[in-house]
């Protein structure tokens, strides 16, 4: 008995276990991680450094000149914004409304489950496949049909901005539906019960209780989806992107005294990501256009980063609200 | 008095909501349902449309010719595995393109699995919560970089570095594309590894520590094996992303449609083929349908990969309670 | 003098074909507090939720038998369920205030039911806060986020919020189970004060609480009503052996 207790105390007093191999393993992991992250970041840093020397107000607003070796990328920026704008109109309301219906009205229904499953898997389908769909369905079927019934010759039956936007809308729709459902599902059910218990109707509950709480989460998903679509190249490759257009894709509505410019969805357009692709692979002299390539890439990255940062801010806000509501 | 108050309550209880409110409620419901149906319509339409076009493709070209051309002279089996859709004797074999896709995707996933898991372990097990809160969005932002940017970088900078390091014969090759792909696959695997590791309940770690295991023993023998399903789902998703990616391979792989296992040779992937040729084909020609066929092939492959990953994830969710 | 407010007649409730309540017939009297006690899973909450038809929100709910309020069958198709929930207020186990300001939480229901005049709304807020004895604590911080309040204050605010649309009946589902003893005492005091104006049905797993605050007590076990009677009688001289076992702590 005595002997045993002595043994225990001597065990306790044994020199601290060093676990040298374990420490080395953790050190190697840390070092490699830092190295990989540095490698990833160096890509962006290299592009930023080269691009920063090119970017100025003129670069952002001017049209390309002298077979792309001079001038700016104004039309490409406007094209990207226009395409994204039309895409948002198509996809965002439909996506959010669908998600509200699926999650708040038909949560347990069989078709909601099937829809959720297919939406989930569609979100991972390669973007080029959506491009195929866009060309085969929107341009060659819907566009041709529109031209026939409106007697517009060959206006919609060819690759134009409208179809690029529609295709990107179909591309982001699954993501928007999924993230909206997630945001709605994150709002705890006791909030719904509280509202129903006070005699609120379903729509009142959604409008005044559920949606305001889910909104920052929904915005996070929507902004990330937009950011993804704005950076996509593959699906729009054969949907109306142009190497160079002398005029902006605008139509002017004449009101006598003044004209209001509007996006013309039935025109071809220049596009930031396509511009990078075409400059690097198909311009007559890639070395001469290299500064512009870096500048355009920097602009595209900045656009993505700004959208991502906004999304992160909304996510932060969303989590804060949820913590409060759940903590109660 | 008592009687009267009871009466008013009765009346209140039997009161109806105004018809306007009721109609509004119903109209909103139908409006939302309409949106959901429209969205489902588009989603189902993609499935239907792709299936229909590939059915047409089978009718126009025949299923065999999508894999080989048998009337050519060629090799021992008398089969030609070639993609020459525009020649006088057009050949539509998907095999060289599939080989190209795999030759770029496999090395990319191999590189990314090693590096991605390392970063995942680093984020989940080594750094503090605060640092992770910052690092996680940064990693996700890497995954969201437009791929054309990486394609451009591979062309402008990467090609030169790879040539100096390995001295390949062609400037643009499968390996260069693989490196480009790993830039998008590493963040995916890293992020999902981190999720998988962190979903292991605290009690499991505590139990290991309580038995006298060190930190590294706990990570390597308890936590990592427990998270292996989640990590494999991440790798599957990463693989799906790699074979589905277009711009990086289009810009960096060199686009020669040959069958090879030489990683430094120029190859051509399924995605790059669609991207390069779809703009120029005439509608409903054999070439058009051939492109649809390889597109549907790609669609099915990624869909199945996603489905597998999805099943693994939903099983994990059921097993692990937070 | 004893006026029946709510009447359950042969009420059975199922969730996904699993029976939660079995043929319960029970009367609740006007302006009295009735406690429902019983071990967890005995159907207390299901019973409570049939009175404002909240069970209908849960998938797989099925009901047999009927519920009358003032002689009116509330499951009759003539009844507008939204209107019913306005007249039958409910307080939940954990406070579920909205992540809005205190003021917005309190005017949520009145606004939905068509009161938009600012001074009317202010009046309601002051009235219900005074009624629930929380006015002094919140009057200077009405625009603060309601979730900044302490747990006990939040729960009392939930009660206040439920009173804003002037219900006749107040259902309470273990309203003090997550609170400390002092906050619990305040809630109990409040229930006692509210009795004169409302018919109160309270579910509780705390037998001392039931004994302290209620006039009548119903004991449920495995979905069946075992015993119902005056609280004083049920706790001192239970008629049923099972009730006696439960209140003396021999099971449950």
Q: Are residues B170 and B292 in the same domain?
A: yes
Residues of C in contact with A327 (CB under 8 A): 147
Over range A179-187, report the average pLDDT: 93
- Scan for tokens 């489950």, then name that residue: A113
- Residue C39 in any domain: the answer is yes
**Which of C130, C125, C83 has its CA nearest to residue C108?**
C125
- Residue C93 in any domain: the answer is yes
How far are the Cα atoms of A90, A122, A264, A303, B126 from residue A224, in angstroms, in the given order? 16, 17, 26, 12, 28
Q: How many residues make up chain A in this entry?
A: 328
| Total number of domains constituting chain C | 1
Q: Are residues B11 and B100 in the same domain?
A: no
> Which of C3, C70, C82 lies closest to B13 in CB terms?
C70
Q: List per-residue pLDDT tens for chain C, 252 residues long.
A: 578 889 999 999 998 888 889 999 999 998 899 999 988 878 888 899 999 898 888 878 889 999 999 888 888 888 888 888 888 999 998 888 999 999 999 999 998 888 889 999 999 999 999 888 889 889 899 999 999 898 889 999 999 999 888 888 999 998 888 888 888 998 899 998 888 889 999 998 888 889 999 999 999 988 889 999 999 898 888 888 888 888 887 765
> What domain range includes position C121?
4-247
- Residue B73 in any domain: the answer is no
Angle at B189 (CA atoms; ends B188, B192), nearest 5 degrees: 85
- Residue C191 in any domain: the answer is yes
| Binary contact (B2, C3; C-beta < 8 A) | yes
- Residue B82 in any domain: the answer is no
Could you give the residue ranges of the DSSP H alpha helices within C36-150? 44-51, 81-87, 102-112, 118-131, 135-138
The domain that holds B116 is classified in CATH as 1.10.3720.10
Angle at C63 (CA atoms; ends A186, C216), nearest 5 degrees: 90
- Residue C96 in any domain: the answer is yes
- Residue C252 in any domain: the answer is no
- Residue B149 in any domain: the answer is yes
Q: Which of A6-15, B3-12, B296-305 has the lowest mean pLDDT?
A: B3-12
Q: Are residues B233 and B315 in the same domain?
A: yes
Q: At what angle do helices B286-319 and A110-122 cross, to 10 degrees?
A: 120
| Binary contact (B40, A111; C-beta < 8 A) | yes
Q: Is the pLDDT of residue B322 over 50?
A: no
> What domain range includes position B213?
94-319
Q: Is the pLDDT of residue A162 over 50?
A: yes
ipTM: 0.88
Q: Is the pLDDT of residue B260 over 80?
A: no
- Residue B210 in any domain: the answer is yes
- For chain A, what are the domain ranges? 73-327
CA distance A277 to chain B (A): 7
Give every strand in the sheet of C18-29, ordered side by side. Answer: C18-29, C4-15, C61-69, C72-73
Residues of C in contact with A325 (CB under 8 A): 99, 147
What is the structure's pLDDT at B8?
A: 63
Question: Which residues does residue C66 pair with via DSSP β-bridges, in sequence order?
Answer: C9
- Residue B88 in any domain: the answer is no
Reported pTM:
0.87
Question: Which residues does residue A252 pair with via DSSP β-bridges, in sequence order?
Answer: A261
> Which of C70, C74, C84 lies closest to B6 in CB terms?
C70
Tally A–C CB contacts below 8 A. 76
The domain that holds C117 is classified in CATH as 3.40.50.300
A301 touches A49 (CB < 8 A): no
| Total number of domains constituting chain B | 2
A82-106: pLDDT as tens digits: 999 999 999 999 999 999 999 999 8
Domain A73-327 adopts which CATH fold? Answer: MetI-like fold (1.10.3720)
Q: Which of A178-182, A215-219, B18-22, B221-225 has the lowest mean pLDDT?
A: B18-22
**Which of C171, C172, C169 has its CA nearest to residue B9?**
C169
Q: Is the pLDDT of residue B188 over 90?
A: yes
| Binary contact (C92, A190; C-beta < 8 A) | yes
Could you give the residue ranges of the DSSP H alpha helices within B62-128? 95-121
Residues of C in contact with A191 (CB under 8 A): 96, 98
Q: Are residues B52 and B101 in the same domain?
A: no
pLDDT bracket for residue B177 (50, 70, 90): very high
Q: Are residues B30 and B125 in the same domain?
A: no
Tell me whether A112 touches chain C (CB under 8 Å).
no
> Which of C85, C94, C145 lies closest to A197 in CB terms?
C85
């Amino acid at each position: 008995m005595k002997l045993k207790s002595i043994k225990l105390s001597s065990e306790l007093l044994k020199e601290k276990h060093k676990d040298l191999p374990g420490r080395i393993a953790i050190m190697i992991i840390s070092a490699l991680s830092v190295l990989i992250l540095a490698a990833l970041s160096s890509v962006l840093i290299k592009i930023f450094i080269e691009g920063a020397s090119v970017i100025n107000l003129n670069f952002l607003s001017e049209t390309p000149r002298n077979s792309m070796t001079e001038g700016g990328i104004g039309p490409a920026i406007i094209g990207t914004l226009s395409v994204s704008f039309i895409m948002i109109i198509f996809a965002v309301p439909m996506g959010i409304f669908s998600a509200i219906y699926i999650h708040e009205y038909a949560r347990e229904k069989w078709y909601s489950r099937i829809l959720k499953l297919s939406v989930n898997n569609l979100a991972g389908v390669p973007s080029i496949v959506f491009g195929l769909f866009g060309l085969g369905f929107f341009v060659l079927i819907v566009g041709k049909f529109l031209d026939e019934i409106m007697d517009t010759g060959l206006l919609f039956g060819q690759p134009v901005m409208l179809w690029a936007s529609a295709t990107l809308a179909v591309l982001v729709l699954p993501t928007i539906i999924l993230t909206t459902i997630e945001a709605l599902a994150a709002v705890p059910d006791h909030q719904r019960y509280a509202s129903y218990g006070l005699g609120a109707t379903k729509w009142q509950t959604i409008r005044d209780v559920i949606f305001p709480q889910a909104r920052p989460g929904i915005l996070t998903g929507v902004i990330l989806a937009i950011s993804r679509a704005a950076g996509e190249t593959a699906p729009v490759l054969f949907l109306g992107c142009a190497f160079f257009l002398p005029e902006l894709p605008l139509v002017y509505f004449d009101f006598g005294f003044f004209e209001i410019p509007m996006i013309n969805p039935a025109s071809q357009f220049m596009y930031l990501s396509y511009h990078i692709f075409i400059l690097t692979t198909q311009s007559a002299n890639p070395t001469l256009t290299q500064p512009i390539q870096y500048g355009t890439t920097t602009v595209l990255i900045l656009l993505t980063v700004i959208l991502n940062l906004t999304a992160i801010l909304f996510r932060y806000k969303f989590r804060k609200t949820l913590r409060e509501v759940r903590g109660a | 008095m008592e009687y009267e108050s009871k009466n008013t309550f009765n009346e209140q209880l039997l009161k109806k909501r105004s018809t306007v409110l009721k109609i509004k409620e119903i109209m909103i419901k139908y409006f939302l349902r309409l949106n959901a149906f429209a969205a489902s319509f588009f989603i189902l339409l993609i499935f239907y449309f792709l299936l229909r076009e590939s059915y047409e493709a089978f009718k126009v070209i025949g299923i065999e010719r999508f894999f080989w051309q048998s009337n050519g002279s060629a090799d021992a089996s008398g089969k030609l595995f070639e993609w020459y859709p525009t020649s006088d004797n057009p050949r539509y074999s998907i095999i060289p393109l599939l080989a190209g896709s795999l030759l770029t995707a496999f090395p990319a996933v191999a590189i990314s699995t090693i590096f991605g898991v390392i970063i995942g372990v680093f984020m989940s097990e080594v750094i503090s919560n605060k640092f992770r809160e910052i690092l996680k969005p940064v990693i996700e932002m890497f995954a969201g970089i437009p791929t054309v940017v990486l394609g451009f970088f591979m062309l402008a900078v990467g090609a030169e570095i790879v040539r100096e390091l390995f001295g390949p014969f062609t400037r643009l090759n499968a390996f260069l594309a693989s490196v480009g792909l790993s830039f998008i696959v590493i963040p995916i695997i890293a992020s999902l590894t981190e999720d998988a590791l962190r979903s292991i309940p605290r009690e499991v770690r505590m139990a290991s520590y309580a038995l006298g295991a060190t930190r590294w023993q706990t990570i390597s023998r308890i936590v990592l094996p427990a998270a292996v399903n989640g990590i494999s789902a991440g790798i599957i998703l990463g693989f799906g992303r790699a074979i589905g990616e277009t711009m990086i391979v289009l810009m960096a792989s060199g686009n020669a449609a040959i069958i090879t296992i030489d990683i430094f040779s120029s190859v051509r992937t399924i995605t790059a083929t669609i991207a390069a040729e779809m703009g120029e084909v005439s509608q409903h020609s054999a070439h058009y349908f051939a492109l649809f066929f390889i597109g549907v092939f790609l669609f099915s492959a990624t869909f199945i990969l996603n489905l597998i990953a999805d099943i693994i994830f939903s099983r994990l969710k059921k097993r692990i309670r937070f | 003098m004893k006026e029946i407010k709510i009447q359950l007649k042969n009420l059975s409730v199922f969730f996904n074909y699993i029976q939660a309540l079995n043929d319960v017939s029970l009367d609740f009297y006007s302006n009295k507090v009735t406690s429902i006690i019983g071990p967890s899973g005995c159907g207390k909450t299901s019973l409570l939720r049939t009175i404002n038809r909240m069970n209908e929100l849960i998938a797989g709910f099925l009901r047999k038998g009927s519920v009358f309020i003032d002689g009116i069958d509330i499951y009759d198709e003539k009844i507008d369920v939204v209107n019913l929930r306005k007249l039958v207020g409910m307080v939940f186990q954990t406070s579920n205030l909205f992540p809005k300001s205190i003021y917005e939480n309190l005017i949520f229901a009145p606004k939905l039911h068509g009161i938009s005049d600012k001074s009317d709304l202010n009046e309601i807020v002051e009235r219900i806060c005074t009624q629930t004895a929380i006015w002094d604590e919140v009057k200077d911080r009405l625009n603060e986020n309601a979730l900044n309040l302490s747990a006990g204050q939040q729960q009392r605010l939930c009660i206040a919020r439920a009173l804003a649309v002037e219900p006749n009946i107040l259902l309470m589902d273990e309203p003090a189970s997550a609170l400390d003893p002092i906050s619990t005492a305040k809630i109990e005091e409040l229930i006692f004060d509210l009795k004169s104006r409302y018919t109160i049905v309270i579910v509780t797993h705390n037998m001392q609480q039931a004994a302290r605050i209620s006039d009548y007590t119903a004991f449920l076990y495995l979905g069946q009503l075992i015993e119902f009677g005056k609280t004083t009688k049920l706790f001192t001289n239970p008629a049923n052996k099972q009730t006696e076992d439960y209140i003396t702590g021999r099971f449950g």
